[in-house]
Each structure stands twice: as structure tokens, then as C-alpha cells.
Amino acid sequence: MLTSKTFVKKTKRGRIIKIVREHYLRDDITCGSESCQICDPFDFGQPLVAEPENKSRLCLTPHYIIPDTNVVLHQMDVMEDSSVQNVVILQTVLDEVRHRSSPGYKRLKSMLANPSKHFFTFCNEFNKNTYVERQKGESSNDRNDRAIREATSWYQDHLRSEGQSDLIIDVVLLTNDADNRRKAIQQGLKAFTVHEYVKSLENCGHLVDLLSQSQMSVHSQDRLMFPEHLPLSEIQRGIKAGRYFQGSFMASRENYLEANVSVHNKDEMVFIQGHMNQNRAVHSDVVAIEMLPEEEWSCPSSMVLEESSEKIVEDSMETEDEAIKRKKIPKELRQPTGRIVGIIKRNWRQYCGILRPSAVKEGTRHIVVPAEKKIPKIRIETRQAADLITQRIVVAIDNWPRNSRYPQGHFVRKLGNIGDKDTENEVLLLEHDVPHSNFSEAVLACLPKLPWIITDEDYKRRRDLRHIDICSVDPPGCTDIDDALHCRELENGNLEIGVHIADVSHFIRPGTAIDKEAAERGTTVYLTDRRIDMVPELLSSNLCSLRSNVERFAFSILWEMTHDADVVGTSFTKSVIKSKAAFTYAEAQMKIDDTAQNDSLTRSLRHLNRLAKILKQRRVDAGALTLASPEIRFHIDSETHEPIDVQAKQIMETNSMVEEFMLLANVASAKKTLEEFPDCACLRRHPAPPPSNFEPVIKAALSKGFNIDVSKGKALADSLQSAVVPSDPYFNTMLRIMTTRCMMQAVYFCSGMIPETEYFHYGLAAGIYTHFTSPIRRFSDIIVHRLLAVCIGADASYPSLTEKHKTQVVCNNLNYRHKMAQYAGRASVNLHTHIFFKNRTTNEEGYVLFVRQNALQVLIPKYGLEGTLYLSDGKTKSKPRFTYNEEANTQTCGSVTFHVFDQVIIELSIDQSNVQHLKLCLKLVKPEIPGFSVPAHSSEDSEPPKKKQKKGQTKK
């Protein structure tokens, strides 16, 4: 098997040391072709079909395709197209792709794993016939090119050699490197550029659009030139010397001329302003920056600047940059400002967007406006413009030449008509990277077979709690019930509280396809009109859901408590339960309040409610924050699926009751798992925000005469509690909303990875915390369940459960998915708001949340909605001038001055001037400013019959 070995010498940076490595060359590597009579086939059959059908005018015989590295990297979309089949990916190519682009490598690997693509990896580096040694003076690139040619030539000979079947199969080398192509042709190989080849294919018009436009010529009239990016070696030297800094580029959502770079190992953000300074960086790229001299430092303009889509601003870049420079920034406002000197790593992905109507209808060059405002417009080339103009499309960026204002890209696929709700949902799922395809066959195969029955064996291994009166309390319409509660009096006078959580880990076994899928999805995503499940519906809404009057598996935590809510004992057990009722919050509230009812369920609810209040008080005393964020609820028409009413969510006592016990359960499980697994418990922490984060709140509260103490969580909670303006009940809520925005993100982590002092959960004022109570919709809870099950000996451990690095990797993914799910949820709300207001214009009460240089940020409590009220857009001269006072944070126009927290009346409507991009439009009604405000809308929109819940709220 081992044929021979050669020595490979490598040198490393820094000290030159010679590393000698063995390299075994083999003669047992198959060529992967079905027609081959010589090589040993795989057990599962050869990947390359015997009669490949790549119909090309350039090569009429059946053939396999061998692309070189750059073709694979740059033409990934072509490669991914289902019509491209029977491709040989050489090991040399695979290795180079791996080194150069990890997302590219991932995509390539998934192509290779897809049997219908007939892709095959040929290990040419380990084959004794195709291995080439680097020659003296040859660069590694040249050597790799030679290796690719060598392998191609071997294939050609091999497929024609004696003993093969009569049908001759050719190989075609695809390379865009002219030199490589020339040498290949000299060697007698068939070699083409991708462009030549793709264009020669029959019926592959759509493939041409997918071609990456690496050589697209740019408008010659573009005089402007971006500064050149420094080569990587120079950047590294610069970073070492401290001249440059590495960081990730974060474009501003509000102003396309502004961006920040979060420099590694530095707390402070570096501000980047203007086209030239941004120098072709795209959001989320890893960049190298150089600090500007202090006198050129600048600050965010607090302007909300959107590139208007109508104006063609091809050559106004310099003017825009000039305009910025002219503005003098007062010294005290200046922030560290820098400019980008080079790109260390592009993090381009595929972007959703719409085609901007081109002046020349028949032209092939078009501009795509991405849905994400942080992404610049992308220039693509397509012949289907007329088709695409009404569509949401996906595009990819290929490159960004120095002399082009916009990056260049290519069309990938279309999503559907603009404005179509499904299409819009698709866009926001794609933009937030939410995996939402249907569950694969492999995943569905992991589901238990129906009818699912509980066996005697199951009863033996679980505690039987079916006789206990357990109920669940959830929002209306909830089908994935993952928690249920009970409370009963014990003989010794204490209370037994039980929290029963759906035992999802019973169904999702580690290492199975369903486990991997759930870990990848991380969380269930709730859109306004759609739920993207983490686990298939059979589990989420049926077998795991703790519905009433059916027997279900649960993971129970049982406490023995005194009537003063002091915990006497805690135990964890796997159980079988039978919930007696599934209440909504309102129903539960009614039961508690209705003195006529006195059955055991009601009594248990009352106990729970009373204990919850004690627990909550303790928590608040410990410094837990009560924060607020406006949440709204849409009433969706059951027929049209159009939203018919919007209102802010109602919070009832029962909400808080359930929440308290969930918190208790979470803390208990965090303690238990950490005790047992100090190194690999999956916990959740919430870092304390730096005091600077609170500045806007402090400033705003001060304007109303309140002092907010942010030194400690407890102090903050207390000062928020006391900041009440009797005349303005909403003031306190607003303050809490603002405080919420100052908070850091809570994150999952693995206990072995960070020091113990950082386990703290700031918002809950808990020493340690985790998520245990919603395993149906969060993967973190499944991990916690598994860990707990091992703790109590109910389940076996498995390898990756106790590996802290693997757990941390899972946690990182969960954090990312969690964040994206939140964003997607918000985006969905936005989308529905737009649809809701599409045919409506209403006047609503609002509050000023922030004052900006040219706008007011207004919150409308009724809808929990936030919008921007532009004060002057510079278009119409006749409008009254507003004066912005930066110190006091006010806008003044004549006698009217806007402060933060000021109440205003706003007219809400949808700006339909741009059909493709609906915008919520706010207009001022009160206070009246002549020439700016609009008259009050006469007919108040039809008030829907609402506030059924009011009754529950007023009583206690």
C-alpha cells in the first residue's frame, strides 16, 4: 500500500526551522469514474457517472470537468448550479480553497457531499502518479498549477488507457489563468476559461448570469479612484509595529457615509467617515485601519442619511467627502477617527436586494439595492433585467475595483415578487441567516413512529406524577407548551412546587441528524405570522408539548417550600405527567381572581401567584432590573392573513407568576449542572454594561430632574423605581425602555471557558443562570437537560457533552442564532406594521425618545412603534428652520421646543411613493408648527373592539 515516500521541507515564519514531513504516495487511489475498469470502486458506487452529459460546443465528447482553484472560489454559484455535474475537485484545489476562504470551503464541501451533483475529490497529492515535487525557483502557485495539469493529464491518459471501456471520456480543465491554459494546451489537454466554457453550454443561459464578473469593465468616466489596499504582508508588519490596527468594520445603518471599526483588544470604537476613508470596506469585513491625525478627527453627524434611490449620484463621491471635511467639529465632540488601509478578510455573503430601475432598459449593467442598509449598492450584469425588476433577488459580491463606486457582483437567484408577503418573509429570513428549509428526510426519520405510546419500561424509569393537578399557563394560541406547574400542600404544612418541562432530550438523542439540525437552528424563530420550528412539528406541537389531558414525558424540578417561599429542598427527576388544563394568562388570571372558584387547580394557582410575588420582591431587592421594551401584537385576519389590528402586549400578574418560577427553575438547574460539571456546564451570563452606555438615559432623566445612579444594578433599579412623574405615567416606562437599550446582550457560554467572576447575570441579579425551561424552542435548554440528566443518573453522558471547547462552539452558534432570531422577529413586526398602515392614516399620541440633528425619534406606545420624524429634509426651502441644541439635546422652531419625553401627536401613514420600499411616514400634528405640522386627521381610524382583558388588570 505504501509505495514510496518523499520528504517535504517547510519553513516557518520567525525562526527558520526545517521541518521534515513524511508524505506517502499511494497506488490505491481511485479515479472515481463509473466507467473505469482499473480502479477499485467505492463500496457505495463511483461518484462520476459513466456517461457524463455536459453538452458543450467546445468539447463534444462526454467529459468530466476539472476546475482550478480560482474557478472554484470565484464561480461558486456556477458550480452550485444543479446543471453542473461530474466535476473532479483535485485535492490541490480543495486545499487551496480551504486556506483561502473558509465559507467557500464549506460550500464546496457540501457540494461534494451531495450525491446528485456527482462531484468527486481526487487525492492527487497522495497518488504516486500525479504527485509533483516543487522545483527549484518555482513558486507554490506555479507548482500547484502544474500539479493540476499533471492530474488532468493523468486523467486523460487513465480514462483512455487499455482495459477501459470503448466510450472515451475526456477531461476538460477550466482555468482563467492564461499562462496555465497555454501550458495545458501545449501538453495536449483541453483547457478553457470558465466564461468560454459556460457560454458554450447548451440551454444554460441562466448559468451565464451566475458567472462572477471578475473582468467586467468599469465605466471609463469614473475618474475617482479609491486608495489602493495595502498588501497583507505590509499590513501585518504595520500591525506588529503598531501603525495599523485590526478590527471588524461595522457600517452605520443610518448614515452610509459613516462606519465604526471595533478594534481587536480595544474597547473603543474607531470612527470612519467618508467614502475614501471607508475605502471599499463592506459591513463585517475584517479590516486594517490607520488613525488619522487628531485635528482631522470627527464625530457622527447625528444625521439620518439615506442614499436616495432616485438620484444618480455616480460622481458625487468626492463632493460628499468634501462636504464632510468642510464641517468643523468642536474639539470636545471629536472621536478617534481613522481610515482603512487594507482588507484583511472579506466576509461577503449573499445579499437580498432589488434591482434599481436602470435608465437604459436594454442595458445589461444594473444596480442592486440590498435590503440591508449597511451594505452598499451592488452592480451586476444581467440580461433578465425586465424580469427581475419586480422581484426580490439574491446577489453575490465578486470584487470591488478601485475605480468603481460600487462593488461588482452577480445575480444568484430570485425570491419572488416584491411586496408579496411570502417573498418578504423569505427576505428577512435570508437576511438574518435563519435556516428555514423544510426538515430533511434524515431528520424526519429520527422522529418516533406514530401512534406513540408510553411503555411500561418508561413508567418504570420515570417518576409517575400523573395524579398531581398540573396545569400550564401560556399566551393564547400557543401550541408548543414546554412548561407546566403545580403546587400542593404537603402533610408537614410546607408546599410542594413543581415545574415540569417538556422532556425534549428524550426524543432528540445526541449525534442524530435531528440533534445536529436542532443545534444548527439553535432556536425557534417567531415571526408575526409564522413560526420556524427548531424541531419538527410532531415534537414541538404534539409529543413534547405538555397539552392538557394527555400523558407526556417531563423533566421536573420539585421544591419543598415554606409558605414564605423559602426553599427547603430541591429535587430533579424525569417524570410522566398529565396536565389537567392549559390556560392562557388571562384565563389563569380570571381563575385566581374569581373568588367563587375553589377547586384544587385554582388553589394551587393562588399559592403559586402568592409565592411568585414574594420571589419577585426578593429578586428586586437583590437588584434585579425591571425593564421594558414595547412589544406589540397583531390581530391577523384568519382569511387574508392581513393584520387587522395592532396593539401593545398586555402584561398580567400571571405572566410574572410563570416567569418567576421559570427563573427559579433555571437558577436551580444552573447550580446543579455547574456543581457536577464545573468545566462544561452551559450557562447564560449577562455582563454589566459599561457606565458610558447609560449616558443618554442619565442625560434624558436629568432633563426631568431625576438622577439615575448606574454604579450598581441595585442602585439603577432603585433610581428607576423612584423616577416617576405623576402627571406622566408613561415617563417611567420610557425611561425603562431607554435603559433596556443600554444593556449588553446576554450570552450563553461554557463554564470552563471564562473565569468564575464573569458568570454573573446583571439583569436578573443572579450569580449564575441558564436556560432550562424551553427545550422545545431553544437548543441551549436541551444541552442543560442532558447535563442534568447525567447529574441525576437518568441518562448517559456522551463525548462532546463534556468537552468544553465543543460546548463553547455550540454556545457561540446559539448566541448568533438567538440574536438573529430577535432581529428577524423585529423585522417581521416592522413588515406587518407596514402592511397594516398601508391603507390607513391615523393620528396617534407619541413621545420623543431621542432628539437628533435633523430628526426626532418618536415612540408610539399604542403600537409599541418607533419612527423617525424628519424635521428638515433640505428639499423644500419653505419649511421652517429647526435649531438643534446639542448641549440641551433639543430642537427648537419658533416658540416650540422639543425635548426628550415630550408628548406629541403624530400622523402615521405609509409613504407609497416608492412601491418597492415602503416606508412608515410620520408627520407632526401637535404641537402645531405652521408650515410643518399637518392638520389632525378627521376620522379616527375605526377603533377595534378591544381591551377584553381590562377587567383582569384592574382587579388584584
Q: Which residues bind other proteins (CB under 8 A)?
A: 1-2, 5-11, 15, 17-26, 91, 98-99, 102, 105, 109, 112-113, 121, 123, 125-126, 132-134, 136, 140, 143, 797-800, 802-803
Backbone torsion region of residue 719, taken as left when φ is above 0, otherwise alpha when ψ lies between -120 and 50, otherwise beta: alpha
Phi, psi of 19 (to 5 degrees): -115, 125
Instruction: Confirm if 417 and 391 have CB atoms less than 8 A apart.
Output: yes
Residue 121 vs 399, nearer CB to other proteins:
121
Closest distance to other proteins from the beta carbon of 787 (Å): 14
Closest distance to other proteins from the beta carbon of 141 (Å): 11
β-bridge pairing 495-502 and 483-489: antiparallel
Residue reference for cell 430642537:
891
Residue 143 vs 383, nearer CB to other proteins:
143
Residue 91 vs 156, nearer CB to other proteins:
91
Residue 9 vs 328, nearer CB to other proteins:
9
Give residue 655's Cα distance to chain centre.
Answer: 28
Residue 235 vs 764, nearer CB to other proteins:
235
Cα separations in angstroms, 469 against 484, 543, 662: 10, 20, 18
How many Cα atoms occupy the beta-carbon half-sphere of 378 within 13 Å?
Answer: 33
Closest distance to other proteins from the beta carbon of 182 (Å): 23
Select from 869, 867, 872 the least CA-distant residue to 883. 872
Closest distance to other proteins from the beta carbon of 116 (Å): 17
Residue 366 vs 786, nearer CB to other proteins:
786
With a CB cutoff of 8 Å and minimum separation 6, the contacts of 813 are: 519, 520, 522
Closest distance to other proteins from the beta carbon of 106 (Å): 10
Beta strand residue intervals within 164-254, DSSP E? 170-174, 190-192, 244-251
Residue 146 vs 778, nearer CB to other proteins:
146
Instruction: Count CB-CB contacts under 10 A for residue 149.
Output: 24
Closest distance to other proteins from the beta carbon of 802 (Å): 7
Residue 689 vs 752, nearer CB to other proteins:
752
Distance between CA 693 and CA 833 in Å, rounded? 29
Closest distance to other proteins from the beta carbon of 511 (Å): 9
Closest distance to other proteins from the beta carbon of 86 (Å): 18
Residue 83 vs 800, nearer CB to other proteins:
800
Cα separations in angstroms, 294 against 265, 291, 300, 336: 21, 8, 15, 7
Closest distance to other proteins from the beta carbon of 248 (Å): 17
Beta strand residue intervals within 418-482, DSSP E? 463-464, 470-474
How many Cα atoms occupy the beta-carbon half-sphere of 949 within 13 Å?
Answer: 17
Kindly state the cell numbers that stand for 355: 434591482
Instruction: Provide the 3-class DSSP secondary structure of residue 268.
Output: coil
Distance between CA 935 and CA 838 in Å, rounded? 20
Closest distance to other proteins from the beta carbon of 442 (Å): 17
Kindly state the cell numbers that stand for 904: 406629541
Residue 134 vs 919, nearer CB to other proteins:
134
Residue 342 vs 825, nearer CB to other proteins:
342
Residue 4 vs 885, nearer CB to other proteins:
4
Select from 384, 53, 370 the least CA-distant residue to 210. 384
Select from 169, 149, 173 the least CA-distant residue to 72. 173
Distance between CA 396 and CA 416 in Å, rounded? 17
Closest distance to other proteins from the beta carbon of 39 (Å): 14
The b/e string for 767-776 (b: 16+ C-beta within 10 A; e otherwise) is ebbbbbbbbb
Closest distance to other proteins from the beta carbon of 11 (Å): 6
Closest distance to other proteins from the beta carbon of 919 (Å): 42
With a CB cutoff of 8 Å and minimum separation 6, the contacts of 918 are: 419, 834, 838, 910, 911, 912
Residue reference for cell 426628550:
900
Kindly state the cell numbers that stand for 895: 416658540
Residue 22 vs 491, nearer CB to other proteins:
22
Kindly state the cell numbers that stand for 877: 426651502
Residue 547 vs 804, nearer CB to other proteins:
804
Residue reference for cell 429634509:
873
Residue 90 vs 481, nearer CB to other proteins:
90
Q: Which residues pair with 851 in a beta bridge?
A: 856
Closest distance to other proteins from the beta carbon of 808 (Å): 14
Closest distance to other proteins from the beta carbon of 128 (Å): 10
Which amino acid type is present at position 616? K
Closest distance to other proteins from the beta carbon of 113 (Å): 8
Residue reference for cell 429570513:
429
Relative orientation angle of helices 178-186 and 140-160, to the nearest 10 degrees: 40
Distance between CA 554 and CA 395 in Å, rounded? 46
